[in-house]
Each structure stands twice: as C-alpha cells, then as structure tokens.
C-alpha cells in the first residue's frame, strides 16, 4: 500500500502546521497507537524514516503468544549465552566483539536474571499479552483486518524426553496468569500430525495463542489509520524534539512539525534518539536483538498449527499465502548482514522434526532488530520531565503479540482514562 512520501511539495504542506498527535514510527506499535488514538477522537499523523512496517514488524513469525510471558532475562541464560559464544549458529548468540555499550547492557541484563525479577517481569508481560490477545481478536473483526488471523493455538514440540520434562518447569506460573495448557504424549502427537517425523517426546499445547501474517497485519493497520483520517508520512525521520510556546516542536527530515503530543515508537532505533527525546538512559537500557526468518511457498505437508521446535528454538508458521521458519536471538549491535550459518540453522533445526521442513520456492531471507530492554518488559508511558512526550518501545520479541494492548494503553494514558491494565510496570522512569 502506498503512503504519503515527503518531497519538497509535501514537506512544505506539513511544515509549520500544528498537529494534535504525531506518532514517530510506523511499525506495528506505532500504527496500533495511532489507531487507538484515532478511535479516542484524536487527530494523528504518523512519520517514519523508512517505509511503514519495514522493521521487525515485517519478517517475524507472527505468533500471538500469552504463552511467552516468561522473560528472556531468566536464571541461567547468561551462563548459556557465554557457553554458546563460540557457536555462531547457536539459538542465543552474543558476538564476541569489543562493544562497551553491549557489554554494559549485558551486565545490567545479567543482574535481572534471578527468580524474583524473572517472576516480576513475567507478571508484567502476561498482563499486557493477555489484554492484547483479547483486544486483537476484537480489532480483526471491528476494523476488518485481513491478515490471515487464526486462533487455533500454538504448540511447543519436543524430541527429547529430558527437554520435554524441563520445558514444563514454568507451566504452573503460566497457569497462574490464566494461560490454558495441555500436555500431549509424543506418540499421540505423532498420530495427530503427520507432518512430524516419528519419535517425538511430547508437546505442550497453548490453545489460546494465535497467529497472523505480520506484514499483512501492518498493511491493514496502515489502511485502517488512513480510513479514519490519519496521515502516514514515509521517508520522514525525527532528528530532535523540544517544547516551545506550549507545543512540541519536532525537527524532522521533512521539515519542522508542531504537535500537542508525540508518541515515540521507534523500536530498536529508540536508543539512537534517546538524547533527542530527553531520555539518555535508553542507551544503557536497550539493545537490538537480531532475529532471522526464511519465507517459502507452502510445502505440501505442513504442521496443523504453528509450532515451536523447542530444542532448536525454531518457530514454524504457515498461512494460506506462505510458510516461515524463524527465531534466533543474536546480540551483535546494528549489524544488518544476513548470516548464512544462522539461516541454515533454521532449516537444519526444522529438518530434525518435519518431513517437509522447507517449501518448494524460497521467497525471502530476512533479518530484523528487536528492541530488547534490560528486564524484557516494554517501556510505555510519559517520558520523565517531558510534557506531551510519550514512549512506546522495548517490546523485545513480543511486538506483534503486545501491539493492540500497547496502542490502547497509550491512548488511555494520553486521554487521562483509567487503562484496562496497571500501567506501573511499564513506566519509562523505572530506568531513568
């Protein structure tokens, strides 16, 4: 879908005009914020330095997963990452390069890999994931979002009995958060789904999870924003923000803009503009976590529902329009190269479980940066000390899953309404 692109004429048209709300970032979080704000009666313009949906919204696996409430910052994760540091195709990989900012972040992350902080982060993530899951299904119907949404659930599949047993250690906590869980014996699962090779140890089924095609979801969000009177300006990057004469002044590559309120939803790029928005702590709070995916035409035999091949940490999703292998977590800064070893690991992992692990035609190899926070909990709320300036970032691997809930939370906070969930765990000042 096309959007307004800023050239000389369009820059002149928008420069100097005061807006109600400007949302900076046209990814899944920025667009859901815009849509919820429009439904609150606000006038909204969305700007983005690139094309709408060009970041991690595009190529992720599109699963909607309250089952993923437990955070990456878990006991034992750092020790595992260090063991894998010399294994470039490991599911979790920290590049062994000299990057002081990354290593400072890892030290802060390691400090939160303890049972108390792990549980606290899980509780915060669960609240937003559960709210967003219910809200998203409503939005698909209300806004007519044609994005191949399917509420059939997601399965974790195991080939190793010990891994299957270990994978159940967090289930009691998820049940506390209202996540429905079914354990399935390996032989029974093999009988249910002929796409899998024999010898499975078992599976964990999360019936309330769902899936959609994320690039189509973002396109549909953009369509809905425009249909409700919102404006999307592509190729228009933010350079700075200041408050003057009761309004925010945004210095952008498309010219100066003024607004009553602004929402910064820049995902992994948030730290690069932290000084401009008056929150320099973002540089130590966030790091880009690189993920990969490969998209194919559908093979003849696919799993009956989206699955996570648990030992290999490979997510498999399928739609009428395609088939995708994805996941991995790589901390290597803003390196945008496609590492062939890590992409090959997705295919090798899938081949251990599936009779047809890849599709007949490969359509895209992709990498994207997820906005990882120190505690794996998003930063949503007012920027401390900056009237009218709001933040919605740090969603890690859960941006699509948390999108609708985040948009509504931002709209409620800006309107001064009581939100559906407690906003306290997401407040940006917890790291200020």
Per residue in 162-185, pLDDT (tens digit) is 999 999 999 999 999 999 999 999
Element (H, E) at 32: helix 28-39
pLDDT at 263: 98
95: left (phi over 0), alpha (psi -120 to 50) or beta: beta
The CA distance from 223 to 357, in Å, is 34
pLDDT at 130: 98
| Count of beta carbons in the 10 Å neighbourhood of residue 101 | 12
pLDDT at 7: 35
For the whole model, what pTM was predicted? 0.93
> What residue ranges in 301-361 does DSSP mark as E strands?
307-309, 314-319, 322-331
| Count of beta carbons in the 10 Å neighbourhood of residue 21 | 26
Alpha helices in 156-289 (DSSP H): 161-166, 171-176, 186-192, 214-227, 282-285
pLDDT at 95: 82
pLDDT at 4: 34
The CA distance from 322 to 63, in Å, is 14
Widest distance between CA atoms in the chain: 69
| 184 contacts 168 by C-beta, under 8 angstroms | no
pLDDT at 8: 33
Nearest to 20 by CA among 230, 242, 240, 233: 230
Residue 272 is encoded by which pair of tokens? Answer: 């690069």
175: Cβ contacts below 8 Å, ≥ 6 apart:
181
User: What stretches in the chain show pLDDT beneath 70?
Assistant: 1-18, 86
CA angle 47, 368, 240 (to 5 degrees): 35
pLDDT at 6: 35
Alpha helices in 63-212 (DSSP H): 77-83, 100-111, 115-142, 161-166, 171-176, 186-192
Please give the backbone phi and psi of residue 131, each rounded to the nearest 5 degrees, phi first: -60, -45
Per residue in 315-365, pLDDT (tens digit) is 999 999 999 999 889 998 898 999 999 999 999 999 999 999 999 999 999
pLDDT at 338: 93
| 207 contacts 153 by C-beta, under 8 angstroms | yes
DSSP assignment letter at 112: T
pLDDT at 93: 85
Annotate 243-266 with b (16+ C-beta within 10 A) or e (fewer): eeeebbbbebebbebbbbbbbbbb
Q: Which domains does the chain have, with CATH numbers?
A: 18-431 (3.50.50.60)
Q: Own/partner pairs for 298-302, CB < 8 Å, 24+ apart?
A: 298/322, 298/323, 298/359, 299/323, 299/356, 299/358, 299/359, 299/360, 300/356, 301/194, 301/195, 301/355, 301/356, 302/195, 302/356
393: left (phi over 0), alpha (psi -120 to 50) or beta: beta
Per residue in 106-149, pLDDT (tens digit) is 899 999 999 999 999 999 999 999 999 999 999 999 999 999 99
Q: What is the mean pLDDT of the chain?
A: 93
| Per-state percent for the chain, helix, strand, coil, to nearest 5 | 35, 25, 35
pLDDT at 17: 60
Nearest to 12 by CA among 239, 256, 230, 248: 256
């Amino acid at each position: 879908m096309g959007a307004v692109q800023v050239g000389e004429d369009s820059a002149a048209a928008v420069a100097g005009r005061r807006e109600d709300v400007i949302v900076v970032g046209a990814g899944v979080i920025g667009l859901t914020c815009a849509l919820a704000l429009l439904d609150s009666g606000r006038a909204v313009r969305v700007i983005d330095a690139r094309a709408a949906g060009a970041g991690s919204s595009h190529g992720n696996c599109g699963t909607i997963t309250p089952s993923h409430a437990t955070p990456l910052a878990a006991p034992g994760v750092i020790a595992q990452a260090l063991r894998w540091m010399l294994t470039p195709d490991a599911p979790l990989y920290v590049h062994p390069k000299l990057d002081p900012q990354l290593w400072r972040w890892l030290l802060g992350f390691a400090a939160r890999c303890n049972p108390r902080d792990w549980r606290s982060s899980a509780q915060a993530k669960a609240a937003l994931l559960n709210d967003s899951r219910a809200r998203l299904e409503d939005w698909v119907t209300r806004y007519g979002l044609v994005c191949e949404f399917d509420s059939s659930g997601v399965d974790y599949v195991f080939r190793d009995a010990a891994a299957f047993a270990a994978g159940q250690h967090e289930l009691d906590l998820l049940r506390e958060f209202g996540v429905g869980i079914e354990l399935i014996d390996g032989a029974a699962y093999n009988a249910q789904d002929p796409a899998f090779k024999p010898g499975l140890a078992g599976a964990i089924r999360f019936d309330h999870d769902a899936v959609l095609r994320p690039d189509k979801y973002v396109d549909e969000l953009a369509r809905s924003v425009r249909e409700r009177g919102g404006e999307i300006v592509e190729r228009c990057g933010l350079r700075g923000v200041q408050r003057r004469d009761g309004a925010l002044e945004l210095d952008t590559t498309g010219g100066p803009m003024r607004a009553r309120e602004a929402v910064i939803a820049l995902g992994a790029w948030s730290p690069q503009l932290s000084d401009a928005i008056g929150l320099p702590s973002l540089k130590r709070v966030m790091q880009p976590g690189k993920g990969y995916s490969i998209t194919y035409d559908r093979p003849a035999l696919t799993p009956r529902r989206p699955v996570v091949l648990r030992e290999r940490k490979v997510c498999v999703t399928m739609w009428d329009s395609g088939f995708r292998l994805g996941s991995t977590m790589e901390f290597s800064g803003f390196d945008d190269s496609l590492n062939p070893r890590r992409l090959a690991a997705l295919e090798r992992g899938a081949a251990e479980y599936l009779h047809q692990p890849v599709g007949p035609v490969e359509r895209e190899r992709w990498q994207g940066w997820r906005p990882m926070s120190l505690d794996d909990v998003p930063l949503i709320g007012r920027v401390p000390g900056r009237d009218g300036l709001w933040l919605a970032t740090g969603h890690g691997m859960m941006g699509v899953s948390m999108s609708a809930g985040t948009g509504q939370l931002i709209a409620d906070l800006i309107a001064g309404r009581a939100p559906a969930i407690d906003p306290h765990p997401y407040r940006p000042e917890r790291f200020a």
